[in-house]
Amino acid sequence: IMASNPVKPDTRNCKRQRELEPQMPDSPQLSSLGKSDTSFSESSGLFYKDEALEKDLNDMSKEINLMLSTYAKILSERAAVDASYIDEIDGLFKEANTIENFLIQKRELLRQRFTVIANTLHR
């Protein structure tokens, strides 16, 4: 029983190896032939896809550059408007400051006159 048991696995192993051996060389040849055909068609397809992708990317970058330049133009116009508003507000503050100083001087002159009038009435 013991002698027959080791023989059976050996023959099975041998049969399996013999069955696998002829298939092994065939499968790489078939797969390599299939791969070479598909790799050529895939590479041409990839080349076309790369060209289309590059064209799309170029178009997108042109659109983005156009949008950015438009945005920059709008920002510069907005900055110019803001600067004009700041200048206008600055002018208004200066004018208000001048009017305030004028009114302070007028108030002082009136106070002095009222003081003179009050002094003359007390005498």
Q: What is the pLDDT of residues 24-69, one digit of tens each?
A: 444 444 444 444 455 555 555 666 678 888 889 999 999 999 999 9
Q: Distances in Å between the alpha carbon of 102 and those of 89, 109, 111, 118? A: 20, 11, 14, 24
Residue 77 is encoded by which pair of tokens? Answer: 């116009």
User: What pLDDT score was predicted for residue 43?
Assistant: 57
User: What pLDDT score was predicted for residue 53?
Assistant: 86
> Residue 89: what residue type?
I
Q: Distances in Å between the alpha carbon of 31 and those of 42, 78, 107? A: 15, 65, 105
By CB atoms closer than 10 A (0-12, 13-18, 19+), residue 49 is exposed
Find the length of the chain: 123
User: What pLDDT score was predicted for residue 109?
Assistant: 97
The lowest-confidence range among 21-30, 36-45, 83-92, 100-109 is: 21-30
Return d(Cα 72, Cα 85) in angstroms, integer. Answer: 20
What is the pTM for the complete model shown?
A: 0.41
Residue with tokens 């007390």: 122
